[in-house]
Structure 1
Amino acid sequence: MAIKQLIKRTSGWLYLNSSVGRNQLHGAGVILMLHRVLSNDRAADLPHRNELCVGPKAFEHLLVWLRKHFDCVPLMEILQPNALRTERPQVALTFDDGWRDNAANAFPLLQKHQVPASIFLSTDFIGSRQRFWWESIGETLWGSHGEKPRMHLIEYLQSIHHPVPVLLDDIDVDRRSLTLLHYLQGLKALDPMMLERLTDECPQESQPQALDWHQVRSMESSGLVRFGPHGASHAILTGLDDVHLGEEISRSRDALLNGCNRPLPVYCYPNGDNDERVREQIANHDYPFALGTGSGIYRGTGDPLNLPRFGVSQRTARNPELLSWRIYRGTRP
């Protein structure tokens, strides 16, 4: 594995520093997808957090690297037609969900390095104590809230025929975390109501998981951050009937119109899931752009309602050459 990582990192470095790479990326836009910036890097290193979380040192390392190789621009500068392209490729940062640590940990570093960003809010969570199931269930099973809540949840999962694997008690921290990651991925198939019930079996945290509207407006007033909708309830849009799909899109749109001065004309699909029916509804609600999760660079072509992004994990934030290797792969037809 270490050799593969070294080859990817070396290839990524060569790509960005070669005439071939510079020519392929000339006039291109790269959209990055992040979720959370935790308060320390060791917490973000664990496999069950790695994909959604980065630590502050890794995030700052990424920002410095991006400014060295790209023009860091607002998302709309990449998406607007006829925008002037500079010699260097452009990159835009996006954050999904609207986690509270976006304000506490990410925003100060964005300000320090003057890197703009767009945050896409699951609007039902903003200003409420509603919780994201992955975080609540995962951290309870990890033991972050103590052994008693952990055992309670394990017993409850057993009673509904979703027993946790034995390796969740493995003495090796990385193996245990990887087991938890795979278990949580398996829970994604459960009915949303069941996931909500499981979340209710987890202890409340001292702080809300999501931003509040005061934090949203404060970041927006800086001129560095803009906000868009990421669903209302974070429901997977492809699984909703037409009526509930329309309500979900409308509710998130209206919340942004009430809570922000200049909400983005960009929708961001929860989990990236979309199909022709969903895209038609998004267009009917007057969104000219929408973000998916497929990898690729943006040149103003392709479906504007399924725009590509590159996900950033703790691993790639620590080693941005891995990101440039993925960008290289994303430029290929």
Structure 2
Amino acid sequence: MQFMRPRHRLFTAGIEVIAASRADRWLRNLARGLGIVLMFHHVRPRRDVAFAPNELLEITPEFLITVLAELRREGFDIIPIAAVPDRLRSNRRSRPFAVLTFDDGYRDNVEHAWPILKRFGAPWTIYVTTEFAGGRGQLWWLELEQAIARLDRIVISRNGEPLSLPSRTPNEKQDAFHAVYRQLRAGPMERLRTVTADLASQAGIISNCLAAEFCLSWDELRDLAREPDVTIGAHTLSHPVLAKLDTTAAAREIADSKTLLERRLGRPVRHFAYPFGDRLSAGAREFRLVRDSGFETAVTSRPGHLFSNHTDYLHSLPRVSINGLFQTRAALRTLFSGVPFLLWNRGRVAEIET
């Protein structure tokens, strides 16, 4: 069941208005950049469950086929992330380009996405969190989902006082998830991890076991690294909100993830994705740390197309999220046109992050 928060309903309405007015056609030449970096997470068959608060992070294999077919129909070249700097410098406008990126290192990317990508001859990048590859990291957003799915009431502390939320019906569970998620994201990383681990324990879920269930192991990644159409990038050691860490800890998460991946895979790792990647998660300090660690590119989750002036900002590239709540051709055409980002940026074709 799809449960849409107000901002998702607003986005749906925006897609409908842009599609109905055909603004994605008549504004495309103004709004569309030289290329786009698409952001995916899970690719797997649709789950028939009433409570799925993380469903925005997953698309079906059938919709991935639609994505690739629509890119082909719209004339996009699908290129590897390593080719982006040269394409930006060339300022080629004859054909736009698209880059396919998958965050976190989920096993379903290989099981369900890769056969489709092979069929289309599409290169792709997977950004790996090294603790997940080791089977010991904390996928806390999945822990939170699974805990709330099992519990009838959620009790946590808020400003020293207990916050008690009913969690019996699907709607109550959705409300509880979003209330807890917002509060935890606003606080320190240690509290976020402690609270979700505690809720998981109450629900009989063993914290830190989800990584082994859902994420590619080192052995699987080594096999994947041999494939010429696959680029493996870094996504930190433990998937923290980097902006919440002190500089030493943030630098370690970035640089050590590169070093560890290179040692375990036996090849250079030149590309990085910021966990969460929004304005509150990564900024000028993080961009500098990534650049100083020797990465050639780094991607955020800030929305937008790529333009020639992004050549000077290769460590803060925007991406276009393929959201599991909007699995329609109309949504794709709108996103690929660049029109929503023209509106988002108040008439500026690109919002450059420094």
Normalised TM-score (structure 2): 0.78
Q: Which residue of 2 aligns with 1:78?
A: 84
Give the Cα separation in 2 of the matches to 1:137 and 1:214. Answer: 28
8 Å Cα contact 1:137-1:198 kept in structure 2: no
- Could you tell me which of 47, 62, 65 is aligned with 1:60? 65
**CA deviation vs aligned residue, 1:108-164 (integer Å, no higher than 9, x gap):** 222232222111111121131333100012122123xxxxxx35x836x37985545
Gaps of 5+ in 2: 1-8, 349-354
Q: Which residue of 1 aligns with 2:197?
A: 200
Percent identity between matched residues is: 22
Counterparts of 1:212-227 in structure 2, within 5 Å, are 212-227=217-232
1:255 aligns with 2:255: no
1:295: how far off? 1.5
Amino acid at match of 1:309: R
Amino acid at match of 2:180: Y
Amino acid at match of 1:319: T
SS in 1 for 2:276: helix
Q: Which residue of 1 aligns with 2:290?
A: 282
Counterparts of 1:299-310 in structure 2, within 5 Å, are 299-302=307-310, 303-310=313-320
- Could you tell me which of 175, 181, 204 is aligned with 2:178? 181
RMSD over aligned Cα atoms: 2.9
1:276: how far off? 2.1
8 Å Cα contact 1:164-1:183 kept in structure 2: no
8 Å Cα contact 1:98-1:210 kept in structure 2: yes
8 Å Cα contact 2:143-2:196 kept in structure 1: yes
Q: 1:74 to 1:188 in 2, by over 3 A?
A: same
Q: 1:259 to 1:57 in 2, by over 3 A?
A: same
Give the Cα separation in 1 of the matches to 2:252 and 2:228. Answer: 30
**CA deviation vs aligned residue, 1:228-265 (integer Å, no higher than 9, x gap):** 11111112211222221221122101122123354442
Q: Which residue of 2 aligns with 1:293?
A: 301
SS in 2 for 1:252: helix
1:30: how far off? 0.6
Counterparts of 1:62-141 in structure 2, within 5 Å, are 62-69=67-74, 70-80=76-86, 82-83=89-90, 85=92, 87-141=94-148
1:5: how far off? 4.6
Amino acid at match of 1:169: R
Q: 1:322 to 1:242 in 2, by over 3 A?
A: same
SS in 1 for 2:100: strand
Q: 1:305 to 1:178 in 2, by over 3 A?
A: same
Query: More strand per residue: 1 or 2?
Result: 2
1:274: how far off? 1.9
Give the Cα separation in 2 of the matches to 1:231 and 1:85. Answer: 33
Gaps of 5+ in 1: 144-149
- Could you tell me which of 42, 53, 74 is aligned with 1:36? 42
8 Å Cα contact 2:258-2:269 kept in structure 1: no
Give the Cα separation in 2 of the matches to 1:161 and 1:135. Answer: 25
Amino acid at match of 1:298: L
1:4: how far off? 5.2
Amino acid at match of 2:307: R
**CA deviation vs aligned residue, 1:92-122 (integer Å, no higher than 9, x gap):** 1111111222222222222232222111111
Amino acid at match of 1:329: P
Q: Which residue of 2 aligns with 1:324?
A: 333
